[in-house]
Amino acid sequence: MFTLDEIENLSVALRRVIRANHLQSHHLVKTTGLTTPQIVLLSAIQTKGEVTIKELAKEISLSQATVTTIIDRLEKKKLLIRKRSAQDKRKVHCHLTAKGLSTIEMSPALFHKYFIYHFNSLEDWEKNLIISALQRIANMMEKQPDQLNKN
């Protein structure tokens, strides 16, 4: 069972991470005009190449509805286009435009230099431990109270 100190320490640590993430996100919006999810989505399209909305949603851990909304906004900014698949007309693929590619290449990193430098200096096992712990925390926080008896 959690002690009061453990709950307080966890809460403070999470608030610090959320605040730092918020500040970095604000910096990204200020310098690029794009939100973190928009940049992540553009980067995923660049990495994956021809990709469907469903595949993007899975890749960046957002709902298809949210990804569709982000794509609508990016399409209005002429950063990407949607095209029907030549092989399967039911599928729509997203492609970066030249402006989208340029935007990604000019965008600052999702994390600031100090974080990247120190994270990269960690041993591989430490990086994996941090990522694993954060993924586990996210999974626990995403569970709803009515899911307590499931898994």
Q: How confident is the model at residue 79 (pLDDT cuts 50, 70, 90)?
A: very high
pLDDT of 151 above 80? no
**For residue 141, how many other CB atoms are within 10 A of its CB?**
8
Look at residue 48 and tell me if it is in a domain. yes
* Per-residue model confidence (pLDDT) at position 99: 95
* Sheet (strand 92-96) strand order: 51-52, 92-96, 80-84
Look at residue 98 and tell me if it is in a domain. yes
Q: How confident is the model at residue 140 (pLDDT cuts 50, 70, 90)?
A: confident
Look at residue 117 and tell me if it is in a domain. no
Q: How many residues does the chain have?
A: 151
For 17-30, what is the mean pLDDT? 91
Look at residue 56 and tell me if it is in a domain. yes
Q: Domain count of the chain?
A: 1
Look at residue 134 and tell me if it is in a domain. no
For 29-54, what is the mean pLDDT? 90
What is the extent of the structural domain holding 76?
4-107
Look at residue 53 and tell me if it is in a domain. yes
Q: How confident is the model at residue 149 (pLDDT cuts 50, 70, 90)?
A: low
Look at residue 141 and tell me if it is in a domain. no
Q: What is the CATH number of the domain that holds 82?
A: 1.10.10.10
Look at residue 86 and tell me if it is in a domain. yes
Q: Give the mean pLDDT of the chain.
A: 89
For 135-144, what is the mean pLDDT? 85
* Per-residue model confidence (pLDDT) at position 70: 95
Alpha-carbon distance of 115 to 15, in angstroms, equals 17
